[in-house]
Structure formats: structure tokens, C-alpha cells
Amino acid sequence: MWLFNSSIGKKFIMALTGICLVLFVTFHVLMNAVAICWPGAYNSVCQFLGANWYALIASAGLAFLALVHIIDAVILTLQNRKARGNDRYAVSVRPKSVEWSSQNMLVLGIVVVAFLGVHLVQFWARMQYQEIIGSAYSYGGVELPAAAGTIYLQLAFQEAWTLPVYLIGFIALWFHMNHGFWSMWQSVGLDNQIWLPRWKAISCWWVTIVVALFAIQACVFTYRANQKFYLTDPDLQAQYQKMVQDEVNEQMEILGAEYTSIAMKAQKAAEAGDFEASSDAQMKLQEIRNKAGELQEAAQAKIEGLSNLASATKKNESAPAPVSAPQTPNE
Ligand code: HEM
């Protein structure tokens, strides 16, 4: 198929995947803006997206696009080098900044991918991935709700190295996206003397605004993380605690339904004089009551742990979560 075999087909795929990735990055910067203006609403969006089927499909699609983009780029670069030898940059009009970035695309690409690696470990691996494997990221002995995006902003940006690493990543991203836009217009044939400068100006503005916003956002997140805003703000604290309580309520509802059905069986067995079945059911009911008590206790410990997280950060990362006094199971 020409799309995969011919050079122009591969360039077309590069352009198409590139546009999708630029759109994702633009969407991402807008999401971060929500985190800055309305942190609580940001957590609600994180909760809405989470590891639901539509978010998982979007994440898988994004990973696929990025992979195709990278593989295609490597193949095209190798083919170009083979075909052109040392004269691989011999094209008509090319501004100086583009020339610099195209000659350093490999290094820029590695920096962007390295940034992404660090970034995904700091966020995706602690949030969506934990939900996928049915686990939760623990910090300071406290299991954190995956949807509490602002806690993960705190954990990432309270580290002194995060801001410089991100800023380096953003610089590489700026060059990479600028070059990408430039070569994309060439690939799709929009490289005439009238349209090329226009597209280039639009691209340059777009990329510069997006990357500048990322840089400003990273500075704001760092400032707030140093103030421990995301751990001490009363509204956010209430939201984290509600997330834990909602989760426990969901589990309690399931247990409640199980309890009602067994209680009915126990009653029927008692009425029929089947004492063995009746005492069996009573034992099961006791087990459910115990489980419900444990769930409430664990949720209480989590909530207390979350409210004490500010003192566990930085100074004493391994401080155990305060555990509430053992309660007798609900009778
Ligand atoms: C200030 C800068 C940034 C912040 C605060 C930030 C924050 C986040 C957060 C909170 C997540 C959510 C993880 C999840 O729900 O699983 C995420 C995911 C992600 N971010 Fe960023 N991000 C920033 C910059 C960037 C940049 C510049 C790129 C791309 C070059 C990027 C690429 C991604 C990708 C690919 C994901 C995974 C998306 C998915 O799971 O579908 N991020 N980021």
C-alpha cells in the first residue's frame, strides 16, 4: 500500500499523527489551565476520565499515534540519509532556526522522549495505571485516590529537580514541534511562496503559546507545591476525603445488597425450622458485618492519613499514616 511503502505516504502518516499529537498537547495545556484556575474542577475531570473505557481507548489511541509517529520518523530519517548521503539538508528555502532543529532532531527527539518518560512515571503510572491494575499509589504510608490529580501535582512539583527537567523538556518540545510543523506543510505540498510563510507564522505562534503556557503552568505548580497548597487547602482536603468516602460507600452498597439477600434466606430457614441453614446464614451475616467494619476503619485511617499528608511530605516521606483506634464491627 502506497501509504506505508512510499516515501510520500510515510510523510503523510507523519503529518497526520503529528497533527493529532499537537491537538493532544493543546488539549493537555488547556486541562492544566483548569488545574490552575479551578483545582477542584480539575480533580472532578480526573475522576470522570479515570480508567473508564473511553479514557482507556483514548490513552491507547494516543500511545499508538505516538509510536507510529516515532517509528515512521526513524524510518524516514534513515531512508533520507541513505538517499542523500552528506547532502541531506539540501532544500530550497529554510530558515536558520529550522535548520538548527532539523540537524539536531535526533537529540531533540531523545530529550522529548526522556521528558515524557519522567512525566509518565510521575503522573500516568501513579494515576491511571494504578486504577488499571486495581491498586493505589502510596505516599507517606497513605493510599492516594487515583482521581486526586492535584495531590500528584504536589508530589511531582515539590521535587526540586522537576521544574528544571520540565523546562528542558519544553525547550526541546518547542524546537521539535516547530520543525514538525515546518516539514509537515512541505509534506502535504503547502510549500508555495505565499502559503508557506503564513502557515509557518501560524505554527510558530501556536507552538510558542502552547509551550510558554506549559512553562508558566509548571512554575505556578512548583510555587503552589512549595506552599503545600494542594495538601492544605480546605476545599481540596474535603474533596479528597469525599473521594475516599464515596469509594467506601460504593463497596458498602454491594455489601448491603449481599446482607439483605442472606438475611432473607436466614429468616426463611428459621421459619422452616432448618436450624443448620439458619446458623450458616447468621455466620455469613456476621462476616459481612465484620467486613463492613473493617472497610469503615480503613476509610477512616485513609481520611486521617490524607489530612496529615502535609506533614508527611518532604520531611518524612516514610512516616506511617496515623491509624484510628480499632472499632468494634458494626452490629
Ligand atoms: C506543566 C506541564 C504538565 C503537567 C502538569 C502535566 C500533567 C499531567 C497529568 C496530571 C496527567 C494525567 C495522568 C493520568 O490521568 O493518568 C498527564 C498525562 C500525560 N501527559 Fe502531561 N503534563 C504536562 C506536560 C506535558 C507535556 C508537555 C506533554 C507532551 C509532550 C505531556 C504528555 C502527557 C501524556 C502523553 C500523558 C498520558 C495521557 C494519557 O494517559 O492518556 N504532558 N500529564
231: how many CB neighbours lie within 10 A of its CB?
23
The string of pLDDT tens digits covering residues 312-322 is 665 444 444 44
Position 89 scores a pLDDT of: 47
Q: Is the CB of 47 under 6 A from ligand 1?
A: no
Q: Which long-range contacts (CB under 8 A, 24 or more apart) does 199-204 make?
A: 200/95, 203/177, 203/178, 204/178
- The residue whose C-alpha atom lies closest to atom 38 belonging to ligand 1 is 59
Choose one of 44, 111, 123 to mutate for the ligand 1 pocket test, by most ligand atoms within 8 angstroms of C-beta. Answer: 123
Cα 306 versus chain centre, distance: 21
**Model confidence band, residue 4 (pLDDT cutoffs 50, 70, 90):** low
Model confidence pLDDT, tens digit, residues 102-146:
667 778 888 999 999 999 999 999 999 999 999 999 998 889 999
pTM of the entire predicted model: 0.83
CA nearest ligand 1 atom 14, residue: 124
CA distances from 54 to 1, 41, 178 (A): 31, 19, 31
Ligand 1 atom closest to residue 58's alpha carbon, by position in its atom list: 41
Q: Domain limits of the chain?
A: 2-86+111-232, 235-312
Do residues 147 and 123 touch, judged by C-beta distance below 8 A?
no
Q: Is the CB of 210 within 6 Å of ligand 1? A: no
State the pairing for strand pair 142-143/138-139: antiparallel
DSSP-derived 3-state class of residue 93: coil
Distance 28 CA to ligand 1 centre (A): 7
- What residues pair up with 142 in beta bridges, in sequence order? 139
Kindly state the percentage of the chain with pLDDT values over 90.
Answer: 54
Cell match 495531590: residue? Answer: 151
* pLDDT tens, residue by residue, 48-69: 887 788 999 999 999 999 999 9
Place of cell 516521606: 317
User: Cβ(221) to ligand 1 under 6 A?
Assistant: yes
Mean pLDDT, rounded, for 29-40? 97
Q: Which ligand 1 atom minimizes the distance to the CA of 126?
A: 16
Using the mean position of ligand 1's atoms as its centre, give its distance from the Cα of residue 83 in Å.
37
Distance of CA 226 to the CA centre of its chain: 21
Say if ligand 1 is within 6 A of residue 218 CB. Answer: yes
Q: How far is the CA of 29 from the centre of ligand 1 (A)?
A: 9
| Cα–Cα distance list, 259 to 232, 242, 287 (Å) | 38, 24, 10
Q: Which of 262, 260, 227, 243 is nearest to 157 (CA)?
A: 227
141 in ligand 1 pocket by Cβ < 6 Å?
Answer: no
Distance CA 234, CA 88 (A): 59
Highest mean pLDDT among 204-208, 215-219, 270-274: 215-219
* Residue 216 CB–ligand 1 contact under 6 Å: no
Give the CA dihedral 215, 218, 222, 228, nearest 10 degrees.
Answer: 150
Check residue 8 and give its pLDDT: 78
Q: 122 C-alpha vs ligand 1 centroid, how far in Å?
A: 9
Integer Cα distance of 134 and 150 in angstroms: 20
| Predicted local distance difference test score (pLDDT) of residue 309 | 83
Ligand 1 pocket check for 28: Cβ under 6 Å? yes
Mutate to test the pocket of ligand 1, among 22, 42, 56, 124 (most ligand atoms within 8 A of CB): 124
Q: Judge whether 321 and 301 are in contact, CB under 8 Å.
A: yes
- Matching CATH number, 2-86+111-232, of 1.10.540, 2.60.40, 1.20.120, 1.20.1300: 1.20.1300
